[in-house]
Amino acid sequence: MVNPTPELSDLRKLVRAYGVLAGTCDNERAIVGRISRRWIAVEVERMLALADIPYRFFYSNRGREILASEFFSGQDLDPTEIDPDTLDIPVRGRKIYINSNRIPKLEPQIDAAVVAANLLLGVQLYGHRGKGFKSVDHDLIIAAMLQDTLGKKHRYSSFDPDKFIAITDRYILAEFGKRVCEKTRHLQTALSAFLDNIEPSGVEPEIANAIAAIMISRLRLTARAAGDAVLSFAGRVQRQELIDKGIDPDVEFAERPFLERDYALAVRALKLPGVDHSALREPIRSTLMIAVQDALDEPAKRFRLAGRRGKAVHDVHTNMPVMEYYVAAEAPNALATLHLASLEMMRYLEKGRRKSYSTMLAHAFRLSAIAEATLGSALEPGIATIALLHDVVEDGSSQVTGYDQSLQKIMFRFGGPIAAMVSEVTDSNVKQDAQQKAMATFNHPELMMPDKQYNTGRLNKMALKATDADRPYTLAGIIVKLIDTIVSFDEGIRDPDLMSGWWRHSGVRIYWAERVRGAIIKPLLERLVMEVQHSQDGSGEPQMDLETRRQLRSGLSLIAIMLDYADWYAAQNLAILAGEFALDRRERDKLIRGFFNPDLPVIDYQRQLLETWLTEERLDRQIAAGQVPNKSYVALYPRSVGDHPHRDISTFHDYVHSARRRIQIRRELGLYSPRKRIRWQSRINEVIALYDYRMLDSQRDN
């Protein structure tokens, strides 16, 4: 018998749903469904030379937009007037590199859940001619998000792929409660009947609206793919997978059968009795449905579906009632604002992939889910909103995904306080800003709260600067920065085979963990440790409000997870380092155990490393065998232009000391015990086993 979870708040249910979506549907795409790891490897973020992009792509609208920005930067010209044949792209394009996230891709199915949820939220708030459709409650919105996850494996439930948990009724009952469980099963049953073309007699109006929202969301994804002609630009790996699925990417308008199918389903769904006209049928019929019908009648018009002002994208999103009527600036800490943030993120990051298995949307969803898991009832909508929006400005820029997102646009959409908090966690163009800001946070006489720092009474009158080094991080900023690092560590741990170039080796990974991200995270972690200790012994600020005290009490859990993931990521980096020097399993085990042994002096450990295991002779043999490009890729050497840099172990030396400090923090906070140490070692073993499995699997593919 499964004991359902105590009734959760709508906020916690929503954020948990984000986590489930990230874990179950991130490897599914519009039109084609589930894709292979090889397909995902082709999509990971990297820099592409224009000359290496299929030439025919530059005749598309998106292709011409890229040519306009790269060959005519600063000029206000019409991209449609550019003739690619006049630019000598095969030659000049060898020296011009762009982010691969600017290339159109099939959207992840997660996007459909975001669209459906926001459509239903619009019905809930503005249906019944503005009175609100109260039977479309938030549990139904969660059910609409979860219905497609049933039966799928949750990849973040374990490091071991053989131990992934499946999403079942029992799982939803345990994690979301009885009402969400019942509504999810009821909705899936009604949806299956609808798809089987069974007469929908007796379907409740709220279920009819949910079915319509789901069908519309699927059509929206297919329409964007058709507008970008994504299938026709598929690479070798993707083409073979499409063919295996019975899809011919070489035919003209390859997306047409799927567009016709999803259009017909959406037409049927919008005719269901009970579908709200003013908040759902009318805004969708006047935008998406008309645009798709035009594209089917006149295929040349399909290219209008996508792009900056795409009829099936921009027009649909901006005419959704939640986007048109809801004023987030008046309610920065509201649940509806979090929903709107998910839609804003999706609009700008739909093409975004990370240097791992994860899409940018799934990355942000995982941040919010970990925030819920660590903060529990102390989680506020504002923190979850910042977790979703933390990368939107940087990654939604013209150089990353090809859009023009900015802090000013965030302020326009969400108001000054949220924009200011987003600016706090948005990377600056000056690399030292975040490090200086972190040190300012550590040294500041008091812990800054968002309400005090940004004065939530101000709506749009606020100066914005990405990672303003002169202002310390607020508690919300500290939380988001730490969780962002946890998720980044986790992605590296799970997907080492998808990393490429420098990131496949120990040098950049250890340097980033210690000197780049570590220079930000370590001061913030130390400040949080200090504040948690003060909250435990009662020496904290007497004027601290109750919500802040609750968040600090929950901060202990966040600290524990941060320490664990830093150790697990370090263990994998040591496994990579061991491979670069061709250590056997026994030597590798000693390398890792010594790294985390607080009783072994660092100087003795390093002497053993350099004299016994990590020798010049071993590395030279690996380089000669083609296993390592050159010494600059290895953690014991600086990144250098030349192939023969001198040894410099200073970064690795500090990396060891950081690991020993993490052990000390555990002891200070009561997080260190024989039982916890055994569990910690078990996870280290899982991380190393996963690394061996992934790299062996990668070698088979190659």
CB atoms near residue 502 (< 10 Å):
15
Residue 696 has pLDDT above 90, yes or no: no
Residues of the chain with pLDDT > 90: what percent?
A: 80
Give the start-to-end residue ranges of the domains of the chain.
38-102, 328-485, 499-701
Of the pLDDT bands very low, low, confident and very high (cuts 50, 70, 90), residue 644 is confident
Q: What is the mean pLDDT of the chain?
A: 92
Judge whether 421 and 476 are in contact, CB under 8 Å: yes
Identify the pLDDT of residue 431: 62
Q: Which tens digits make up the pLDDT trace of 370-429? A: 999 999 999 999 999 999 999 999 999 999 999 989 999 999 999 998 999 999 998 765
The average pLDDT across 181-194 equals 96
Among 198-207, 361-370, 455-464, which stretch is predicted with the lowest mean pLDDT? 455-464
Question: 578-590: buried (b, 16+ CB within 10 Å) or exposed (e) per residue?
Answer: bbbbebeeeebeb
- The 3-class secondary structure across 582-601, one letter per residue, is CCCHHHHHHHHHHHCCCCCC
The DSSP result for 119-188, as a single string, is HHHHHHHHHHHHT--TTS-HHHHHHHHHGGGTT-EETTS-SSGGGPEE--HHHHHHHH-HHHHHHHHHHH
Residue 545 has pLDDT above 80, yes or no: no
Q: Which tens digits make up the pLDDT trace of 71-84? A: 999 899 999 999 99
The average pLDDT across 260-278 equals 97
Residues of the chain with pLDDT > 70: what percent?
A: 93
Q: How many CA atoms lie within 13 A of 533 on its CB side?
A: 13
Among 32-41, 427-436, 550-559, which stretch is predicted with the lowest mean pLDDT? 427-436
**Structure tokens of 189?**
């049953």
Identify the pLDDT of residue 432: 74
- State how far Cα 175 lies from the chain centre: 22
**Structure tokens of 331?**
């309610």
Residue 637 has pLDDT above 80, yes or no: yes
Identify the pLDDT of residue 296: 98
Residue 5 has pLDDT above 60, yes or no: no
Fold of the domain spanning 328-485: Hypothetical protein af1432 (1.10.3210)
For residues 689 and 529, give the distance between their C-alpha atoms in angstroms, rounded to a whole number: 31
Residue 283 has pLDDT above 90, yes or no: yes
Identify the pLDDT of residue 68: 95
Of the pLDDT bands very low, low, confident and very high (cuts 50, 70, 90), residue 460 is very low
Length reported for the chain: 702
